[in-house]
Structure 1
């Protein structure tokens, strides 16, 4: 398994798309935080959790980017047939697919951690220099949201990988990752609301996961832990189904 993970890491990091899109997503977050920190008209009125609210909201885009890259990582292997030598060298397909899932999840965790730490340090330095009160606290939920960013990125990476493994089609997987919360769950939320379901957002896994990066848990039905666990189980289910399906069909 260790050698297999090393091989997957080598393949993943040699794809320039992964490197540049990751740098671009994190860099864009830093630009946004930097501009807000420098151009905020009344920094002294900034609440301690405002910075984390900004970072948490933008981190959703980073998490979706991570999910897209995780999906492209596996779909491109099928489209270019580079998966075949790997499966030939390791006949136990489950081991290969699990190794790829682990790599995708760790990749998301690392990107999320780097992004939130870098953005928070930059924002706190700029705002503090202008007299703003900035800090992480368990009372206002900012600390939990700070820790939730890498978790959300990791879960979306696993979800993207599982979806890519199941569909084996790059456009379809990427479209679903982006449109699922924006279109599919929005429509479903409206249908459930009309049907009289209380707090229908609780039933939507993708949307529920966004509670991980919201400082105020009252803004998300079900709360932070519920949203993370619910979406985590959903992402794991998609991945398990993808592995089971690919164990039965040709590469």
Structure 2
């Protein structure tokens, strides 16, 4: 509890978590409103919408933009301490380094999860209002797409803490976290022959599969299997961070 309390004080005394959280809400809900308006416009003009409007459609802003800001927020919580040498003082006060990193990850996961609940529900209702439709949570995996966002955000926070602990530099950690889903699992999926397997076994693609955005890939398991796959990927990265923090100088 002392570790969590110390991390809470650090988190609430800096401005970056507040601004990242606020920006995540604005861009996620804003894109949800745009998606709803586009769907209404397509229907009113007599054209079919590009894809069926579901709860997954309302959460696209959270998945594409909000998730990036969550990773930035969590990574900065670690790399900023390394940059200014504050982490050394923390390790002197609490010699168990894995406990410090685990406490930081737990607190950020709780914050990211709560932020995910706010964003998911707000996006869901705003998108429906602008689209002029009412979605049924009982069908088309809508409940999973909606309530999976907080789970996704919490796992992203743990992943970002792990990457930040391993790399220790803000620019490097943030670049890797953002480029992985955008480039490695984005553009690389267009490579002939290889791209198919990058999409099927990419951790972020699997998480999107769980959230209702399977794309054109034939995944080897169902949505819940994809969630476990992504969670295992996060656990491996975070486990490596806990191992490395004990082996390297602060």
TM-score range for the pair, normalised by the shorter chain length: 0.7 to 0.9
Partner Cα distance (2:152, 2:218) in 1: 15
Q: Distance in 1 between matches of 2:161 and 2:223?
A: 23
TM-aligned CA distance change 1:57 to 1:37, over 3 Å: closer
Stretch of structure 1 that moved more, 118-127 or 70-79: 118-127
Q: Which segment is superposed worse, 163-172 or 207-216? A: 207-216
After the TM superposition, which of the residue ranges 92-101 and 115-124 deviates more from structure 2?
115-124
Contact 1:108 1:153 in 2 (8 A): yes
Secondary structure of residue in 2 paired with 1:133: coil
| Partners of 1:110 and 1:155 in 2: CA distance | 12
Equivalent in the alignment of 1:73: 77
Name the residue aligned to 1:84.
88
Q: How do residues 1-251 of structure 1 correspond to structure 2 at under 5 angstroms?
A: 2-37=1-36, 40-41=40-41, 50-60=53-63, 61-128=65-132, 132-137=133-138, 139-186=139-186, 189-190=189-190, 194=193, 200-214=198-212, 221=219, 222-251=221-250
Which segments of 5 or more consecutive residues in structure 1 lack a partner in the other structure? Answer: none
- My pick for the range that moved more, 27-36 or 79-88, is 27-36
The alpha carbon displacement at 1:214 in A equals: 1.5
Q: TM-score, normalised by structure 1?
A: 0.85
Deviations 1:123-143 (A, max 9, x none): 334545xxx233322x31111
Give me the TM-score of the superposition, normalised by structure 2.
0.86
The answer to which of 170-179 and 34-43 deviates more is 34-43
Aligned residues: 244
1:145-179 deviation per Cα after TM superposition (whole angstroms, max 9, x unaligned): 11111111111111111100111011111111111
User: Over the residues paired in the alignment, what is the CA RMSD in angstroms?
Assistant: 2.7
Change in CA separation of 1:199 and 1:180 when aligned onto 2, cut-off 3 Å: closer
2:35–2:57 contact (8 Å) kept in structure 1: no
Alpha-carbon spacing, 1:142–1:69, altered in 2? closer, same or farther (3 Å):
same
Deviation, structure 1 residue 188: 5.1
Cα distance change, pair 50–106 in 1 and its aligned pair in 2 (3 A): same
